[in-house]
Amino acid sequence: MTPGQLVAHFRENQNNNKTLKGLFASQFLGKFSSEELEGFSKSISKEISRREDSIVQERIAYLTSLGYSVSK
């Protein structure tokens, strides 16, 4: 099963509240050890950081294209 198929499966089987988080936690996370969950947490944090950096870079590029000088 690919990651996309896994996400599609969870979305198809959402509970009545339409919360993917609750379904994921109840059906999936309970199967992992604490160490594995810590690894997931670190990986998720890295992915969130990477996406945030990407958004910042897109906005900097947009402002630069409008002629603004962007500095930190």
Q: Where are the domains of the chain?
A: 1-31, 33-72
Report whether pLDDT(23) > 90: no
Nearest one of 23, 1, 3 to 13, comparing CA atoms: 23
Q: pTM here?
A: 0.59
What is the residue-averaged pLDDT of the chain? 85
H-helix segments, 1-72: 3-12, 20-27, 34-65
Nearest one of 16, 17, 15 to 26, comparing CA atoms: 15
Residue 18, sorted as left (phi over 0), alpha (psi -120 to 50) or beta, turns out to be left
Confidence of residue 49 (pLDDT cuts 50, 70, 90): very high
